[in-house]
Structure formats: structure tokens, C-alpha cells
Amino acid sequence: MTAADVDEFARLEPQRLEPLKALQAFRRLIRNKEDTAQVFEIMRALSGSSLGKGYNRMLDTLEGGRQAFLRDELAHRLDDPEWLARFGPGTVGAAYRQFRESRGFTAEGLADEARKVAPLADAPHPVIWYSRRIRDVHDVWHVLTGYETDALGEACVVAFSYAQTDNLGFAFIGWGAAREINRENRSIPARRAVLQAYRNGRAARWLPGLDYEALFARQLDEARAWLNIRPASAYHAVPVEARQALKLRA
């Protein structure tokens, strides 16, 4: 392990928050919504002790502890077409399969963006493994919550993620995006939708520690009820055309 590696691992300890770095990365992100690496830059700047606390929370639950022991890499499963083909119509797995195929998304593509700002994103360390897990379930949480991948939907799913993980990076992105959306189109109740997403995340069961293979086999409506994921009514009240027209430019 090199000196640079040691410095990178040191980041796993409770860190001083770096809001200026987060703000600079956010400005780059709103200029180019597709520059996903900036999301991970923000997360690095504002994660603090949330990753270590999240991993420890996994260990405090029976299923979360089992998942931590198995340490499966979700990205490998989510990019395996044979694995995804197992899940029948109406299931979470089928909905996820349709979600990614319609958008051309891959879990490995998201991982590549993370590697641009975190060279040790693939390191064999339990807390880094947990951070990969949070990264890899992002699109699964889109499916579970019903938020699409337009600017408002992304703002809402990260607000939901903040409630689930206590990572301030998610809060910063969600609230900042809501502000930018209102600058672009004042008629869209972005703050209301983001606040509802946060509250929905607080009300839901804790998702990071789940057995995702078992979850994918459940019917989507049944899974949402079991996880107590409430409807995204404020988001869906915004016309699709208005959401899709958002450019989120500074």
C-alpha cells in the first residue's frame, strides 16, 4: 500500500466537512447534469462519518449483518443479464430491468464515474464496500420510489437517500437542485416534492441492509407496501412535460 493509499483510507475516519468543495462541484454539475463524477465529489466532501455509521448499522441487524458477511458486489449482479432474466413480470427485478434497458444505464457505468474521484473505490475494505452498495442501489431506489431520472426526480431520490443514509452530500444535492429548478421554472413545487421525498425516506424501512435478490423477486407493489414506501404524490403532480423540459443550467 502506497502513501497515497494510506491517505485515501484515512478518509474513512470521521472527516471535516468541506462545503466549499461541495459547492464548486455542484456548480459544475448544474452546468452539465450528465457530469455524474461531480455527484461523487460532493459526496466525498460531505460524507463525514455517515459511511462508517451506516456500515455499523448493518451489523446491528440480522439481515444487514448477513449481507455484510457475504459482501456481495451488487454491481456485478445488476449488470448480469442472466441474473436479471430470472425475475418475472410485475416484480421489482423486472421493473429494474426495464428501467435500465430503456435508459441504457449500467451499474458499472456509475462505478466508473465514482472511480474518477475515488481511486480506491474498489478497495477490499468493509466501509468502502458499504459505500459501493449505496452507490449501486441508486437506480434500484428510483424504481422503488417511483422517481424518474429527470432533474426533479433525481433531486427527490437523493433527498430520499439522505433520509436513509444521513449523508449530507445527498441533502446538499437535493436541496440545491430544488433551488435551481425553481430558478428555471417557478411553477414547479420542487421544494415541496423534495421535502416529501425526504419524509418518505424517513418513514420507509431501512433499505441499505436488505437482501436485494429476495427483494427483486417480490411484486413491485407488494415490495413498496412491505418497505412502507409512500407514494411520490408531489412529484407526480408535476406534468411530465414540465419535468422533461427542465435543463437545470446555471
pLDDT tens for each residue of the chain, 250 residues long = 344 443 444 454 446 678 888 889 888 888 887 788 888 899 888 999 999 999 999 999 999 999 999 999 999 999 999 999 999 999 999 999 999 999 988 888 888 887 887 777 889 999 999 999 999 999 999 999 999 999 999 999 999 999 999 999 999 999 999 999 999 999 999 999 999 999 999 999 999 999 999 999 999 999 999 999 999 999 999 999 999 999 874 4
Put simply, whether the predicted model's pTM sits higher than 0.85 gets the answer yes
Asked if 46 and 169 count as a contact pair (C-beta separation under 8 A), the reply is: yes
Task: Give the integer Cα–Cα distance in Å for 41 and 219.
Answer: 35
Cα–Cα separations (whole angstroms), residue 108 to 8, 77, 122, 132, 172: 22, 10, 12, 11, 25
Strands (E) in 111-207, as ranges, are: none
Contacts of 97 (CB under 8 A, 6+ apart): 84, 85, 87
Scan for cell 444487514, then name that residue: 64
